[in-house]
Amino acid sequence: MTPTDTIRALAGDLAVFQDLLKDLPEDLYLWKPQPGKWCLLEVVCHLYDEEREDFRARVRHTLETPDQPMPPIDPVGWVAARKYLEQDYPDMLARFLDERRQSVEWLQALADPQWDNTYQHPILGPLSARLFLTNWLAHDYLHFRQIARIKHQFLGVKSGIKLDYAGEW
């Protein structure tokens, strides 16, 4: 898959996220499958932060200043520090979708990006801009699965109906 293909997929994922996450009732977006697991509000807040401070920032850093130290991130710590559960779900979803639009516009506007530029991570070793770009798309897919799983579990619990007729999960 070329970087152009990956960027096209990231652009298409905007509609997937919107369709999976828009117009949900509060009892669904605040529901947790079990203690310690994220609800959809936390997932959306995470996606917003990761869009701005992880993937887009790391691709940009590796393309523009690969020899400089990267700012640290703390996705797990952000859940409490940024009070994800106190955020407004529709607002956070709109903010995430807007950030994705900005990311896609930025990626599509890049002129001759050097996808092989490499950042030397102190623990993980060399990480290329292409690696960060590809993992950005993989991150989308992981969260599509997570969102679908939460919605599937919610349906089973709230309906009280066995869902095995639909197929094996």
Distance, CA of 37 to chain centre: 16
Nearby residues of 102 by Cβ (< 8 Å), 6 or more positions away: 56
Is residue 76's pLDDT more than 90?
Answer: yes
Give yes or no for residue 157 having a pLDDT over 90.
Answer: yes
pTM of this prediction? 0.96
Residues 21 and 38: their CA atoms lie apart, in Å, by 14
May I ask the CATH class of domain 3-166? mainly alpha
Residue-wise pLDDT for 31-49, tens only, equals: 999 999 999 999 999 999 9
pLDDT at 169 over 90: no
Residues 6+ apart with CB under 8 A from 63: 110, 113, 114, 115, 117, 129
Tell me what pLDDT residue 8 has. Answer: 99
Checking 106-110 for CB contacts under 8 A at 24+ apart, the result is: 106/56, 106/60, 107/7, 107/10, 107/59, 107/133, 108/7, 108/11, 110/63
How far apart, in whole angstroms, are the C-alpha atoms of residue 136 and residue 106? Answer: 14
| 89: amino acid identity, one letter | Y
Share of the chain above pLDDT 90, in %: 99
The pLDDT-based confidence of 121 (bands split at 50, 70, 90) is very high
Q: Give the rounded distance of the alpha carbon of 79 from its chain centre.
A: 14
What is the arithmetic mean of pLDDT over 129-155?
99
Residues 6+ apart with CB under 8 A from 53: 71, 73
pLDDT over 90 at 135, yes or no = yes
Angle ∠(58,81,47) on CA atoms, nearest 5: 45
User: Phi then psi for 35, rounded to 5 degrees?
Assistant: -55, 140
Average pLDDT rounded to a whole number, residues 137-159: 98
Q: Which pLDDT value is given to residue 136?
A: 99
pLDDT in tens, 101-114: 999 999 999 999 99
Residue with tokens 């991150």: 139
